[in-house]
Structure 1
């Protein structure tokens, strides 16, 4: 007979809280490593490899179109994984997303180029990118919920921001591995060097799966099971009873995704094609900025438990408005030091917005519909924002021949987010 005491329960809860935090950070890092790896290669190698019959401008547009496809697939993944996450649990959905993402990433690394299989190459690339985005649609909300729902009223905001650290960590890992194989493969980077980072993803996936198998269902979801509150059709219920929460969550956070699409991905293309600079400058600047962003997310996540995460998000949008024009001014100097400064500050500002985004969205919905509500809201904002940011930036630069046109695009997005933030209600942050 096993004697269960309050202290035993408390120790078990703390242990699961640690596992949940590690699982969410590692899983999110792996998912975003895969996703960002595609974004980096889309900027420096894919136009020539998969769209070699097009002129450079058209090839870039087509490449970033496949990038956008991944974002268009996210809401579909959000609906499916959100449904099962609210019906049968968070854990199973998270294991599925990790398996799908890892498999697809390895297949991209093995995909032949245009010269070998012709039109089939970009078609398969687009399909794999779609599946990749589909998996992301379920990964982020699941990671956030598992971490947040194992938290307590004292640290729930911080716990919800832990998966957000996976974004800069994934960017760091993806950028570092890319930079390493650019150096190792040299002139062979276009033939085999770019493939290795994709294939190495399988190692990370196996580690992530081992940790997630040791994770239990969250107390919040267990409470839903005990009270028999399982919804029949979570997605229908979300749009029927919580349309305001969805809209406010989407538009209050859309600027962060647009900013990241420009700062982390399009900047490299801008530097190479418009400024004529070496790609390593931007790859390394992004790497340094991402490292600092990790600490920024930790700090803002901690503060979110002390003050409203809405205030932090609003402050981040104001900083974004102020930095949008100086950002391209510094890039245009072509000075390596100033380019590093521009990218680092930009990624720190994004991190300031990115950390509170998780508790703002997740706390807008009750536990029995939280997976679906969070997934749909997050993925719609991603589709509207970051998915089209590199594509729109490419068009604006070609149309106006100035990076400042992109600055205006960022500023308008931040103004919209500030307005929508007024309607955000995070009353469920401390409900459990």
Structure 2
């Protein structure tokens, strides 16, 4: 690689990572608020169970909107380039998050408060649905082919940074505003989104289009309707990518979102403690996910991912057992160990799913496969958990739920193929040159 390429690679990875931090800060900020704040401020006329379900339902609508974002930005990402699509997604989620911080609550305008909250969440979902695949591709396609696992994992590590930033900001606001947090203090983290948005747009605008997309464009290989084409050519790959997503996404939704609400409501443990627990886990993800990507480059992307799934499956029941102790330090330990299992999958997953498609269909295939699955994995997981406990009376039903998700993910990843070098002539030639060197 030339010095110029090395510099642009560094810019691309930084642009992908920083933008991802911002977008997932916004997304996880909403998840935290859905567990702690929105049931009280936007659904106060409901009983606690119904209010929690309704709040998590608005959380789920963000996931429901993600396939729409995947279709829209998958199309543009494969038609006009990864960079342009990513800048647009950043604007969408940043503006919608800022507006959440300005929304009137139920006490001011009644049910319309919940309606407006729902609309903002849908816009967030559209933005995130198009962002993840683009950030992964921007980073991976600028990186060295022999280090694709590590390069592709950086945006996923940035998700952990976004979650850490969201958790830290909420904790700081709870501490500083005290009793006023539920009056006006909760708005501050959402309003900060606008400052982060401007910084992210500036950084991403300095990144050039990726070499892989340039080769597709220069070789006149751009597909007219990439979303339809990927479903026509590679429907099985899209489906298998979705299956593979389950084993990573369901457990993460359980320990990073649902358990905050459950432990706070049912045990004598403060919400601040649970938010801090996730902050520690998120910090570990910043380090652990790139490590997972590095290991994937050494022993294989698929093998690393499947080892992470097995780890997840084995920890599901011990995790619930430690939650049942109602001991804060053991609950923290249980959560952190789950983060370690998640990090191994999250480090290998970006390269695993991106390599499942040729360059001219890579954005569409990667986005569609992961974001449709996100609806049925993380999107509805908090509601499923709430329902399972309400009907079975035991947290161990959630361990079974995690186990089923792990089996689905293991099966999908086992049958997933690497089609990264089966696309355009220019891409195949570049692959052969890199392999030779």
Q: Same fold (TM over 0.5)?
A: yes
Distance in structure 2 (CA, Å) of the matches to 1:152 and 1:278? 45
Q: Distance in 2 between matches of 1:57 and 1:183?
A: 27
TM-score, normalising length: structure 1: 0.96
Deviation track 1:150-173 (CA, whole Å, cap 9, x = no partner) reads: 012221221111100111101100
C-alpha displacement of 1:348:
1.6
1:422 counterpart (402, 414, 418): 414
Which of the numbers 309, 314, 327 marks the counterpart of 1:317?
A: 309
Counterpart position of 1:407: 399
Please say which of residues 266-275 and 179-188 is displaced more in the overlay.
Answer: 266-275
Query: Any idea what the Cα deviations from partners look like across 1:301-339, whole Å, max 9, x if unmatched?
Result: 111111211111111111111111111111111112111
2: distance between equivalents of 1:81 and 1:253? 19
1:154 is paired with a residue whose SS is: helix
Give the Å deviation of 1:203. Answer: 1.2
1:190 aligns with 2:182: yes
* Correspondence 1:111-126 to 2 at 5 A: 111-126=103-118
User: TM-score under structure 2 normalisation?
Assistant: 0.95
What 5-or-longer segments of structure 1 have no aligned partner? Answer: 1-8
In the alignment, what sits opposite 2:83? 91
- The Cα shift of 1:383 comes to 1.0
Q: Helix, strand or coil: the match of 2:298?
A: coil
Contact 1:275-1:332 at 8 Å conserved across structures: no
1:3-402 superposed matches below 5 A: 10-402=2-394
What is the CA–CA distance in structure 2 between the aligned matches of 1:79 and 1:315, rounded to whole Å? 31
Distance 1:302 1:270 in 2: 35
Cα distance in 2 for partners of 1:307, 1:102 equals 38
Secondary structure of 2:378's partner? coil
Q: Distance in 1 between matches of 2:122 and 2:268?
A: 31
Shift >4 Å, 4+ stretches = none
Q: Which residue in 2 is equivalent to 1:3? A: none
Displacement after TM superposition at 1:419 (Å): 1.5
- 5+ residue gaps in structure 2? 422-426, 432-437
SS at match of 1:386: helix
Partner-residue secondary structure (3-state), 2:2: helix
Matched residues in 1 for 2:412 and 2:138: separation? Answer: 27
Segment of structure 1 superposing worse, 188-197 or 151-160: 151-160
SS for the counterpart of 2:208 is coil
SS at match of 2:101: helix
3-state secondary structure, aligned to 1:277 = coil
How far the C-alpha of 1:276 sits from its partner, in A, is: 4.1
